[in-house]
Amino acid sequence: MVLNRVIRGIVKSYNRKTGKGLIVVDGEAVPVDLIGSRDVRLAVGVQVVFQKIHRPDGVFASDVRVIQQVLE
């Protein structure tokens, strides 16, 4: 089993209806969905850590964990 490194990023966009969005890391946008976020609904501006995985339709964020909530 190959372990990927944990990456820190910020949620750039997120659709609460579909559970799909983008996490930005060093200018690169990584797609995220409910599978990768473990059914946790994210929000724009939230800081997260995750791993990148390769799926048939591209690279996605996986095992996403919120590390800092957005203050409202």
What is the 3 state secondary structure string of the chain?
A: CCCCCCEEEEEEEEECCCCEEEEEECCEEEEECCCCCCCCCCCCCCEEEEEEEEECCEEEEEEEEEEECCCC
pLDDT at 39: 86
What are the structural domains of the chain? 7-68 (2.40.50.140)
pLDDT at 70: 66
Span 42-72, pLDDT tens digits: 999 999 999 999 989 899 999 999 997 766 5
Residue with the bigger pLDDT between 34 and 72: it is 34
